[in-house]
Amino acid sequence: MDYLKTQGVDALNGTIKISGAKNASLPLIAMTILAKNRVKIKNLPHVADINTLLKLLSNLGAQCDFLEECVEVDTSSINETKATYDIVKTMRASILVLGPILSRFGHCEVSLPGGCAIGQRPIDLHLKALEQMGAKIEIKSGYVQATAPDGLKGSNIIFDKITVTGTANIVMAAALAHGETTITNAAREPEVVQLCEVLNKSGIKIDGIGTAILTISGSGGKLIDIEEFSIIPDRIEAGTYLCAGAITKSELTLTDVEPKHLGAVLSKLEEMGCTFTSTTDTITIHPTQEIKPVKIVTQEYPAFPTDMQAQFLALATQANGVSIIEEKLFENRFMHVSELQRMGADITLNGHTATVTGKTKLSGTDVMATDLRASSALVLAALVAEGETNIHRIYHLDRGYDSLEKKLEGVGAKIQRLKE
């Protein structure tokens, strides 16, 4: 098992290229199930979750070929409609194959999902919506068994709660359905927007893209022709490296980034004293003399993302004053707090709210990653800790960050990947 050995640094400097977004890649890979052609996907990040989903498609009979800077997926040879537990248990996003498989074949079995332990993310909203579209669904032996022998029918779906994967799943299901489907209270994340834009370009008419109300005109069971496309930049990876620049009071330039997807993150960093220079596809963070405390509440896009909560909590340990961070989306997303406390952080938890008192002197020690974003928070803390920090269980980190230690090493971090 790998771990990261990290030494504190005075400052970083240089340029980091942002990879494609993991959270956009996963639904777009699942979307290829709707295609009648071989689909070329460019700018996929080299992360474990991508490999897991491609392996799942391969197990279903699809052909997935890695080329120099892209992946080509041919789902015309799919001959299996059961997504087994051994794959699905490792990644919750595997549930994204449910909508497209059911819509294309009229039946499927998908294991109930596993994944990281940040909290309950039930799929009941997915299943309720599919039932409204005419599917018959049973839960047997840990599997969702769904049938729609006459195809899915367009319906009026109202999500009781905003769900990113639920929105993506139902958009894909609706793409091949008979008639028109309206989704109210749809997620507006850039990753959902790209899925809709690619489908729209492929002949599936979708109105309301980027809003909370989506209207999808189904193809009536006809597979679609999907042109090659490139994955949007990873806004969470970009936000993480901006936090690296902020916590070390360094100047870093991010390239291949989409600044407009980072509005809430940039706004909070500005509140903390950071300044930026941006172009259409770059952001440079400039060093600040003093990191100021901040109040953050995580909510759905375009508000502050839950996937950046852990990184800002680490940053807040170096702010001069008391920061308040409220987690509104996942009940177990403060597991990194105990590990940061081991490094000397002054953090008090009260339910879903963390109170961080800074500035505290952090000391290097052995810490354990508990989930994907918690891993990056520990890396950020290690950058400014005195002495050596060993971050264990970084397989969590590998699920969503493409070559993190190499990118940080390239801008001056003292970090290396070693074997236990």
Instruction: Quote the CA–CA distance of 256 and 121 in Å, as a whole number.
Output: 31
Tokens of 244: 């690296």
Task: State how far the Cα of 174 lies from the Cα of 156, in Å rounded to an integer.
Answer: 11
Q: Where are the beta strands (DSSP E) in 18-74?
A: 39-42, 63-66, 70-74
Cβ-based neighbours of 105, under 8 Å, separated by 6 or more? 81
Catalytic residue list contains 64: no
Q: How far apart are CA 383 and CA 252, in angstroms?
A: 14
| DSSP secondary structure letter of residue 150 | T
Rounded Cα distance between 134 and 130, Å, is: 7
Per DSSP, 32 falls in state G
Least Cα distance to 215 among 157, 301, 136, 129 occurs for: 157
What is the three-class DSSP state of 80? coil
Given the residues 64, 108, 116, 274, select the one marked as catalytic.
Answer: 116
3-state secondary structure of 183: strand
CA distances from 194 to 27, 28, 76, 180 (A): 10, 8, 23, 20
Catalytic residues: 116
